[in-house]
Amino acid sequence: MPITQILEKNARLYANDVCLVEISPELQEKREVTWKEFELIETNPKEHYRKEITWKEFDDKANRFANYLIANNITKGKKVAILLMNCIEWLPIYFGILKTGALAVPLNYRYTAEEIRYCLSLSNADGLIFGNEFIGRVESIKQQIDHIHPLVYTGEDCPNFAISYEASVINYQPVSPQIEINEEDDAALYFSSGTTGFPKAILHSHSSLVSSCITENAHHGQTRQDNFLCIPPLYHTGAKMHWFGSFLVGGKAVLLRGVKPKWILKAVSEERITIVWLLVPWAQDILDCIERGEINLKDYKLDQWRLMHIGAQPVPPSLIRRWKTYFPNHDYDTNYGLSESIGPGCVHLGIENIHKVGAIGVPGYGWTTKIVDEKGQDVLNGEVGELVVKGPGVMRCYYNDKAATDAVLKDGWLYTGDMAKQDSDGFIYLVDRKKDVIITGGENIYPVQIEDFLRSHAAIKDVAVIGLPDKRVGEIAAAIVELKKGHECTKEELDVFCEGLPRYKRPRAIIFDNVPRNPTGKIEKPKIREKYCKMSVVELQIST
């Protein structure tokens, strides 16, 4: 079945149940300051920062937008790009596009104007809907995208080169357009994160999207009573696809616009959240605030929170040990997935396997995995090779890029580019990205191993290890270290600390700086390499 049928089923069965909530805590705090300053009386403090819709309203909004698009010549097989920050309209817009039989094309809200233009061109987008934050970027490329119609704007003060979503869509009927869609039809184009180069467009079908619902629900047993806190950007598969396990059974989601620890815990407390999907830096920030005394857990109602779920990057075991100290009753799981495998859990640890923290887990529900050498042959347990996966969520292709597709799709197997190894119990451990391996004097160094070791230091908040060119040994390992707030540490202290590593794995350069991550939590190593690879040995203070 197409994924739109799940929405229509929920609208029939649970019409008046709230399904989506949007919370803007920054807006709330600003208003509270204003009320205090001017001694205003606030009768309903939530109405200014909290929005909600029911399943029927969700489906009605999707139908109105679908009918609007059809009236504007968006038909089956065409493509409509979404350039919006997380908001309560995002998902109805997404499903409205799907209901026409067209493909949804979510865009990264951090894209520059040139990247937006590039992705619109690569995807052959026919339409675009964008928000207030993107007026300047869209206006700067409007002559290059003048073939795109409709160009729809959502928000107040619609620019003169676009059509107002609010003023136009309301005139269309909230009834299903009755477009025939089947599960094998194309549904969406997602873009790769771009951490290893310019983004590629990833083509998925309706069956692929539905598989994410089934896989996620099989892993975590969501019911209608579950309430999912969604913090990551909706343009990425790692956000809504994890909620899709709840969506399958009519469970709701809360969209939190902000990542401050107090905002997260307040939302969990007030909205009675049961499942939170975090990135490593956000979990780290929560723990740091608790340990600095900035957060008192007794101030929040957290007894209903059952699952703390982390994905998108390797998880340091030390982080989970700290987490369980403060939240001993939480189930914990980590998932491994790619946009090319529709996000949630082609590999997952499983809440019953917390004794294997450090592993990404075992093949996810409906998935098969293997670890292979450069000839595609299985390696022995304990040996490092490339992780390859096969399952119902594998992409169809990189859109308009046959060479890139052929490089990663072979006989139905998706070659992930991640180096991994498997233990005797069948659990898979990530070692590093294939392209990130540092070769020093003929030895392979896997940055993740050094990063995990350094993150166990009490003063370190985050770390990224890259290879720097070296005339003698080819490359050396350099660690970019971000310290926790209020902590101090010297290079000499970390040199001593790293004596716990084999000599060849010890970083030869230690640089104190912020570690840049993209909105999905992945370290932006190309940015780090660009910044440091041209610096001199003296500037980097490289150890001999």
- 287-304 pLDDT per residue, tens: 999 999 999 999 999 999
| Cα 139 from chain centroid (whole Å) | 28
| Least confidently predicted of 133-147, 188-202, 230-244, 490-504 | 188-202
Flag whether pLDDT at 485 surpasses 60. Answer: yes
Confidence of residue 20 (pLDDT cuts 50, 70, 90): very high
Confidence of residue 472 (pLDDT cuts 50, 70, 90): low
Burial pattern 272-305, b for ≥16 Cβ within 10 A else e, equals: ebbbbbbbbbbbbbbbbbbeeeebeeeebebeeb
Flag whether pLDDT at 491 surpasses 50. Answer: yes
* Domains (range + CATH), the chain: 437-540 (3.30.300.30)
Flag whether pLDDT at 536 surpasses 70. Answer: no
Cβ(317)–Cβ(358) below 8 Å: yes
Confidence of residue 36 (pLDDT cuts 50, 70, 90): very low
Residue 70 pLDDT: 98
Confidence of residue 163 (pLDDT cuts 50, 70, 90): very high
> What is the percent of the chain where pLDDT is above 90?
66
Sort strands 347-348 and 227-230 into parallel, antiparallel or unpaired. Answer: unpaired
pLDDT tens string 45-61: 455 689 999 999 999 99
Which pTM does this prediction carry?
Answer: 0.83
Confidence of residue 504 (pLDDT cuts 50, 70, 90): confident
Residue 532 pLDDT: 82
CA dist 306 and 297 (Å) reads 15
Greatest Cα pair distance, the chain, in angstroms, is 72
Residue 196 pLDDT: 45
Flag whether pLDDT at 189 surpasses 70. Answer: yes
Strands (E), 40-86: 50-54, 79-83
Write the DSSP string, 419-432.
EEEE-TTS-EEEEE
What's the whole-number average pLDDT of the chain?
Answer: 89
Residue 442 pLDDT: 57
| Least confidently predicted of 251-255, 344-348, 529-533 | 529-533
Amino acid of residue 156: E
Flag whether pLDDT at 544 surpasses 50. Answer: no
Residue 310 pLDDT: 85
Q: What is the DSSP letter of 10?
A: H
Confidence of residue 314 (pLDDT cuts 50, 70, 90): low
> Which residues, 6+ apart, have CB-to-CB distance to 36 below 8 Å?
none
pLDDT tens string 505-524: 889 889 999 998 876 667 88
Flag whether pLDDT at 441 surpasses 80. Answer: no
Residue 522 pLDDT: 74
Confidence of residue 81 (pLDDT cuts 50, 70, 90): very high
CA dist 270 and 28 (Å) reads 14
| Least confidently predicted of 212-216, 382-386, 525-529, 535-539 | 535-539
pLDDT tens string 324-375: 999 999 999 998 888 899 977 899 999 999 889 889 999 999 999 999 998 9
Cβ(226)–Cβ(309) below 8 Å: no
Question: Of 315, 313, 413, 391, which Cα lies nearest the Cα of 346?
Answer: 391
Greater pLDDT, 221 or 48: 221
| Cα 339 from chain centroid (whole Å) | 9
Flag whether pLDDT at 433 surpasses 70. Answer: no
Residue 47 pLDDT: 52
Flag whether pLDDT at 267 surpasses 80. Answer: yes
Residue 540 pLDDT: 55
Residue 223 pLDDT: 97
